[in-house]
Structure formats: structure tokens, C-alpha cells
Amino acid sequence: MICLTGLAEQINGSSSKIWPMNGSIYEFLKQCDSFLQFPAMPVHSTGVRFFNEKPYLRQKINEFFPPGYPWYNQQFCDFIKRGLNNFSIGEANEPSTSSLTPTTTTNTSISATTLVNPCTSGGYRWNTTGITILNSTQITSPAHLFLDVNDTLYVVDEYANSVIWKLPKNAVDPILVAGQVLSRGPNSSQLNFPQAVYLDSEQNLYVTDYYNYRVQKYINGSNIGMTIIGINGTAGTASNMLGGPRYLCFDSTETYMYITDADNHRILRFQLNSTSGTNGHIVAGGNGAGNGGTQLNYPWGIDYLSSVSSYLYITNFSGHTVMQWAPGNTSGIFIAGTPGVSGSNDTLLNNPIGIKIDTYLNIFVVDYGNSRVQLFCNNNQTATTIIGTGAPGAGAKQLNNPRGIVFDSLMNMYIADSGNQRVQKYLKL
């Protein structure tokens, strides 16, 4: 079995910190038949719960377990499983060799320590000099990035190519996987200003196709797309139509897809088995463009770690803010930027686009209009500029209207530097 666990906010009435345990995570997940859910919500009275392994965990493993988390080997996990009723749950250090041996003692426990948020402890630092891994001779306008479990990079090349590329780990030349180079259009092998890309755990590719008002699905390596959301070539405000799809994200179980329908100022949710014309559900916004708590203002970027938080994280491009919004709620919460106010200081944003959250709920925002990447630590509305100078430029330390952001398994950062027609890589320090 695999020993993965976490604590809910309340277990038997006691407040707890979330903590994980794992051992050789990816290799174990390929073989195990059960695991402890992370985080463990809902939980049994013991604070843990067993589930069958789900394939999506292989795809999402980097989101669940950032580098630096403590781990335990399989022998210790088996020991915990046998002695679960007597196991004292708490934050943990790696056990000593002697603690790995099963014992009959009735009060087995582990020593406690504190899991520190790397954003507040100084652990989040990147080399600010970018490495160009794709340049203007290879791509025309990088708009969005996605990394799979093997650190294969998928790049949305919006204009003029209107295609999707993939770049395997350590490769130099990208491989065309969707669309036709320099041939925009509405047929099943074409795209027209693609915006975002996602690869699911079954190797199916999803692309938001802005000017065709649709989402295309490419089944397991096919370069022929099928329209699963929207009506090809027709924009609209009905729940089965899209007005201008920008970015997309999935929940951790890959049951639902969430789409920023920017021109309709709303977030729509669809099941993955949807087909063209299927009605979606408005889960955020839908009350016209605006900067009130019940509105979105040209939503563009979106991220969702449903294993950690019940909130969607949304960038309002025209509202210059980031909102936190529980799907289906009538209103959201502004957590970064000032509604309707653009600016370049450490509390303001200017047309934010890309967004990523980590398991500590720190927020990385690609500040398009300021040509920089901002890091907001959890519950802090004052940001630190971690990439870029705040002014557009083509130097190795500069960005020019950046859009997408993603992290690999080592927490190296990749930025779609659209104005410079390149993808930049920043090494984690």
C-alpha cells in the first residue's frame, strides 16, 4: 500500500495542520491498490481514509506533493496501517530506522515538526535570468503552457500559427500535435486562435478554440479534434454556447472542466463526457462585466486544486484583480489587486492573465500589462516580483506581455513570453 495522508482542519474537534506522507510517490502509485487520501477530507475518526488508486493521481502528483515534503517508506506505511487505531496523528519527520520495525506497543507516535510555507520562509526563489527553450524561429505567439507528468511541455501557439506544440523533456525541437501551421480555420484538423491546452490522465488533449467558440478534444494522440463544448463557429450567451473561451482547468478527479468564457464574463462547468451543444452550468459570474463581488470582468486565467481548496482562482483581465470563487456561489472574494484599478506597485495588477496556485495556496500571477510575474503568499495582498523588471523588454531578465505559467516536477518555472515570441525557463534555486 501507499502511505499518503493529510489532516482536515478539524479531527475529533482538534485543529490540525495538513501534512503528507509518501514513499517513492510515482513508482508506488503505478503499483498500489490503495492509499490514504490527501488531504483526508472527509475523514474517519482516526483521521485517515482508504481509497482505491485513481489514474488521475499519476497526472496530478506534482500538484499534490511539491518538492520538500517529508516521506516514509513502504514498511513504515504498512506499520501505520496495522496499528492505525493506536497511531498518533500529527506532523512528521522521517522516522529513524528503529521506528520502522513493527511493535506491539499501544502508544506508537512520531515526532512533530512544522511544515513551513516556502513563500514566507524564503524557500521560493528562482534564477531571474531566463533560458530560452523555444524562440521566434519555432513559434509565433505562445499563449498558454501545460506540463504533463513526464515534464513534456505543451505550448499553445496562438497567432499566426494557431497550433499546439509539444516539447518532450530535454528536447530542442517541438512536435506539432494539433492544428495546421499558418492555416486557421473551423474544420476538425484546424484551430482559430487557440487559447489553452490540457492533457488528461488518459492522454486525451483538450484545446479552447477562441474564434471557433468551441473546445476541441483529441483522443489519445489523434490530430483530428471533436467538438465537445460549444457550437462550432457560433458565439452566444446560452448555456450551451461560448462567447470567447480563454483558459480552462479541471478538478482533481478530471470529472469537470471549468472554462473562462471571457466575452460573457462567466465561468462555465462541463462534464468531460459533454458533446457539442451540451448545456454547461454557470459556476461564477454571469452577471455582466463589472467589478462587484457578484461579477467577473473579462475572466481569463483560472486554476483549481480541488484536492486542497474548494475555490476557483480567477484572473479578471479587465478588472485587474484575482478572485477566489467557490463554484456555484453567487459571489466571490477579491484576493489580489484593486477592482477596476490598474497599476504597477506591489499591491496592484495590470491586465493579469496566467495564474497558478500551489498546495500552500500561494498565488503566482502573470501580470501581462506590467511584463512581470507576481507572487502573493497565502493571505497576503502584497506581492513580490519574482520574474521580470516591470517594463517590457527582450533581455534574458525581461518579459514582454507574458501570458502562461507552469512548473515542472522540480519547480522550475516556464513562462509564455508572448511579446518576445519565446518560452522562457527559470531554474528553481
d(CA 119, CA 200): 29
pLDDT (mean) for 6-10 = 35
109: pLDDT confidence band, cut at 50, 70 and 90? very low
Model pLDDT for residues 96-108, shown as the tens digit of each residue? 333 333 333 333 3
All three cell numbers of 28: 508506488
d(CA 75, CA 271): 39
Model pLDDT for residues 144-171, shown as the tens digit of each residue? 999 999 999 999 999 999 999 999 999 9
Residue 113 domain flag: no
d(CA 49, CA 89): 13
Range of the domain at 313: 131-426
d(CA 38, CA 230): 34
Q: Residue 307: its pLDDT value, please?
A: 87
State the CATH number of the domain containing residue 254: 2.120.10.30
- Mean pLDDT of all residues in the chain? 81
pTM higher than 0.85, yes or no?
A: no
Residue indicated by cell numbers 483538450: 206
Residue 383's Cβ-count burial label (10 Å; 0-12, 13-18, 19+) is buried
Residue 119 domain flag: no
Residue 105 domain flag: no
Residue 402: count other Cβ atoms within 10 Å of its Cβ. Answer: 27
pLDDT (mean) for 390-406 = 98
d(CA 337, CA 329): 21
Q: Residue 198: its pLDDT value, please?
A: 98
Q: Residue 154: its pLDDT value, please?
A: 98
Residue 180 domain flag: yes
Q: How many CA atoms lie within 13 A of 106 on its CB side?
A: 0
Residue 125's Cβ-count burial label (10 Å; 0-12, 13-18, 19+) is exposed
Residue indicated by cell numbers 489519445: 220
Higher pLDDT among residues 373 and 308, named by residue: 373
* % of the chain surpassing 90 pLDDT: 71
Model pLDDT for residues 345-376, shown as the tens digit of each residue? 999 999 999 999 999 999 999 999 999 999 99
All three cell numbers of 246: 480563454
- Is 32 in contact with 1 (CB distance < 8 Å)? yes
Residue 112 domain flag: no
Residue 186 domain flag: yes
Number of structural domains (the chain) is 1
Model pLDDT for residues 62-94, shown as the tens digit of each residue? 444 444 433 333 333 333 333 333 333 333 333
- In sequence order, what are the residues at sequence separation of 6 or more whose Cβ sits closer than 8 angstroms to the Cβ of residue 362? 117, 119, 124, 375, 376, 377, 378
Residue 15 domain flag: no
Q: Residue 209: its pLDDT value, please?
A: 98
Model pLDDT for residues 313-338, shown as the tens digit of each residue? 999 999 999 999 999 999 999 999 99
Model pLDDT for residues 20-57, shown as the tens digit of each residue? 333 333 443 444 333 343 333 332 323 333 333 344 44
116: pLDDT confidence band, cut at 50, 70 and 90? confident
Strand runs labelled E in 95-204: 131-134, 142-147, 153-157, 163-167, 175-178, 194-199
Model pLDDT for residues 163-196, shown as the tens digit of each residue? 999 999 999 999 999 999 999 999 999 999 999 9
Residue 203 domain flag: yes
d(CA 277, CA 76): 51
